[in-house]
Structure 1
Amino acid sequence: MRRLMSLPLVRSVLAEYPGGELERSCRAHGCDGLEVVWGGEDLPTDIPPALHVGYHLTFWPDWLDFWRGDAAALVRKFGSKAACAAFYGGPPGRDTLLSAYRADLARAAAWGAKYVVFHVSDVSIEEGYTYRWEHSHEEVADTAAECVNLLLDGRDWPFALLVENQWWPGFTFTDPSLTRRLMDGIHYENKGIMLDTGHLMNADPGIGSQAEGAAFIHRMLDEHGALCRYIRGMHLHQSVSGAYVKAHTGALPPDLPEEYLARFGVSYGHILQIDRHQPWSCPEIASVVRRISPEFLVHELSAESRAEREARLDIQNRCLER
């Protein structure tokens, strides 16, 4: 099992690790390498290749209507076709998204990634507040599989593809039949699941503690049975946010901005209250990790600074060692 630290590839974060500090920080806090997320800048050339392990592909939370070229839905959400095209970087349709994904896959290959992570979910700003879904889990999973097949078929890519669960419409790891449908629908042989523990907790707003979250994860593993063989990685963090969800979903807030980017910014803060990416501090999660024994265990923790990131890594590591 390779223990990894999640890190965005942006100058402001990398500047906290001058010289060889990034490798020293990883080693000092029990990590063998990194799972990185591209930050829109040139890939850094001074990170030791030994740390190049995972690569989280770019994603758009709300993409299915764009993929389908549903002009009416897009204008309703974005206000205009121009605003929509500016947000996605091109005109509606699958070609714009496929082009962006192909560029990111090329970056992952150049980085030397051993695996890439692909989100399978779809949620609009409005749905993130109302929790009334416009598309079914099956629609999202089937279209995601179609996208993956168009991207990966016929190429000998040097990495595994790991699909990540969310709590929005799509792949949630709460329905074994849907998990099987998704995995069967992806042609790529070198595939698997990146099980995100915090996202799985978000799928049940009734969870009121970390211990209840760990028990829920065990139940989902029980229900998935032999399908658990697909789990090759874990995003390790916890999110006890059911009370917030119950108090702040069901309707749009009255002061939500009209302009799309302003609305997106406000909604991002709302999502961070649901998806908290906090370190596990209860020992029950250790049994989940032992049970799965993934190839890749990623500490995917929110942090405002290197000091906070390292402190939270230590909290989670101590939890696993109990």
Structure 2
Amino acid sequence: MNFLLNISTYSDDLELINHDWASAEKLLAETGFSGFELYPVGKDYPYQSIPTELIGGVHLRFFIMLEAIWRNDRAKLIEIFGDEETVRTFYGGTTRDAIVDCYRHQLELAHQFHVPYVVFHPVHYELDYVFNWQPPWKMESTLALSAEVLNAVLAETPYQGWVLLENLWWPENFRLDSTSEIDFLLGQIDYAKTGIVLDTGHLLNKNQSLGTEREGIEYLLNEIKSLGRHRDLIKAVHLTKSISRDYVRQTKGQTFNGEQDFWKKLSIAARHVRQIDQHNAFEDAAIAELFELISPDHVVFEFAYRSISEWKEKIALQKKALGSIFQTCITSSTPHFSSE
């Protein structure tokens, strides 16, 4: 297994490495990881400044809301965003071409970095439902839309590695609730190397009766056991803990209090989501049992962090919990990742 850390080209992340990828490489060597899963932000960053050997995977952009722009539903777009300029700012354009162009650019980056996998969220969710968890559409429509987007994007790309589908917790989305859900989605994607990246925190977020880490791990193990042989589709894991029962119960039924401005609503929703999806480290050694059920090629310690010391502390806690499962991936030779 390759053990990776998450990083993005958002300024906050780059400041932690002093905008210097030599510092990022030093962090890998210090902590025993073989590379980063990169979330690239925008087309303007000088990606050529990132040493190819440091990047082990690419997380494609998470657009959240895709249906209205993909279906060219102008009335719905204006209802959500308020005006065409806000639509353009959010998506980088006002038609589905902006979505395709964004993803193809990121797949081109993945090709240039020679990464073995990219991550895609099969999701459609709207701000109006982030508090009540009661969207009016069905899971099948979300998965069909996601497959349609992926098929359009993958029709013309040099990238030949794995496309891994990441689970979320919002109802009527891809949640790993059943094997039939997996079959329904994969059956519509015209790309042979399609698999799953299991996000453990997102899976835990589904169950808001979990009050302790041990309860969470037991639930996680049972959910993965229920997938049977479909577990073999799990090629990567975002290993992260979220036990947010109390917060979700406190905020159920909360609203935007009449706020109509899209960007202010998005900011409120983002703060809310960060409280649900905590991106903390597992500390209980029972988490190692997960890797008796699955054998992923890649394990990403996907944490939220505000300082380099907090980042290192979470890394140390989760490495300790994994015990012998964690193997140092930095060797005397240069780390190498391949999409072949």
Band of TM-score, shorter chain: over 0.9
Inter-CA distance 8–294: structure 2 relative to 1 (3 Å threshold) = same
Partner of 1:312: 314
1:209 aligns with 2:187: no
Partner letter of residue 248 of structure 1? T
* Structure 1 alignment gaps of length 5 or more: none
Partner of 1:62: 65
Tell me if structure 1 keeps the 8 A contact 2:38–2:58. Answer: yes
For 2:73 and 2:21, locate their aligned partners in 1 and report how far apart those are by CA, in whole Å: 49
1:42 aligns with 2:51: no
Partner letter of residue 314 of structure 1? A
Tell me if structure 1 keeps the 8 A contact 2:36–2:57. Answer: yes
Partner of 2:159: 157
Shift of 1:109: 1.6
Partner of 1:243: 246
Pairwise mapping of residues 140-219 of structure 1 onto structure 2 (< 5 A)? 140-153=142-155, 155=157, 157-168=159-170, 169-219=172-222
Inter-CA distance 290–60: structure 2 relative to 1 (3 Å threshold) = same
Partner of 1:73: 76
Shift of 1:71: 2.5
Of structures 1 and 2, the one scoring higher in RCO (CA 8 A, sep 6+) is 2
Shift of 1:15: 4.3
Partner of 2:14: 14
For 1:124 and 1:47, locate their aligned partners in 2 and report how far apart those are by CA, in whole Å: 34
Shift of 1:83: 2.4
Partner of 1:2: 2
After alignment, is 193-202 or 211-220 more displaced? 211-220
Q: What do the CA deviations read for 1:205-262 (whole angstroms, capped 9, x no partner)? A: 11111111111121221221111111000001010012211211234142x5321111
Identity %: 28
RMSD: 1.8
Partner letter of residue 2 of structure 1? N
Partner letter of residue 296 of structure 1? H
For 2:86 and 2:23, locate their aligned partners in 1 and report how far apart those are by CA, in whole Å: 41
Q: What do the CA deviations read for 1:131-159 (whole angstroms, capped 9, x no partner)? A: 11132111111111111112213655232
1:116 aligns with 2:96: no
Inter-CA distance 19–66: structure 2 relative to 1 (3 Å threshold) = closer
For 1:204 and 1:217, locate their aligned partners in 2 and report how far apart those are by CA, in whole Å: 10
Tell me if structure 2 keeps the 8 A contact 1:22–1:47. Answer: no
Partner of 2:334: none
Q: What do the CA deviations read for 1:66-90 (whole angstroms, capped 9, x no partner)? A: 2112223222222233322332221
Partner of 2:330: none
For 1:313 and 1:290, locate their aligned partners in 2 and report how far apart those are by CA, in whole Å: 21
* Structure 2 alignment gaps of length 5 or more: 325-340
**Match of 1:55, SS?**
strand
Tell me if structure 1 keeps the 8 A contact 2:256–2:265. Answer: no
Partner of 2:225: 222
Partner of 1:98: 100
Shift of 1:175: 2.1
Tell me if structure 2 keeps the 8 A contact 1:56–1:118. Answer: yes
Tell me if structure 1 keeps the 8 A contact 2:210–2:245. Answer: yes
Partner of 2:109: 107
1:271 aligns with 2:273: yes
After alignment, is 1-10 or 146-155 more displaced? 146-155
For 1:266 and 1:210, locate their aligned partners in 2 and report how far apart those are by CA, in whole Å: 27
For 2:167 and 2:138, locate their aligned partners in 1 and report how far apart those are by CA, in whole Å: 15
Tell me if structure 2 keeps the 8 A contact 1:192–1:230. Answer: yes
Inter-CA distance 134–318: structure 2 relative to 1 (3 Å threshold) = same
For 1:152 and 1:87, locate their aligned partners in 2 and report how far apart those are by CA, in whole Å: 22
Partner letter of residue 268 of structure 1? A
Shift of 1:281: 0.9
Tell me if structure 2 keeps the 8 A contact 1:108–1:116. Answer: yes
Inter-CA distance 75–173: structure 2 relative to 1 (3 Å threshold) = same
Tell me if structure 1 keeps the 8 A contact 2:224–2:293. Answer: no
Partner letter of residue 139 of structure 2? H
For 1:61 and 1:301, locate their aligned partners in 2 and report how far apart those are by CA, in whole Å: 20
Partner of 1:139: 141
What is the aligned length? 320
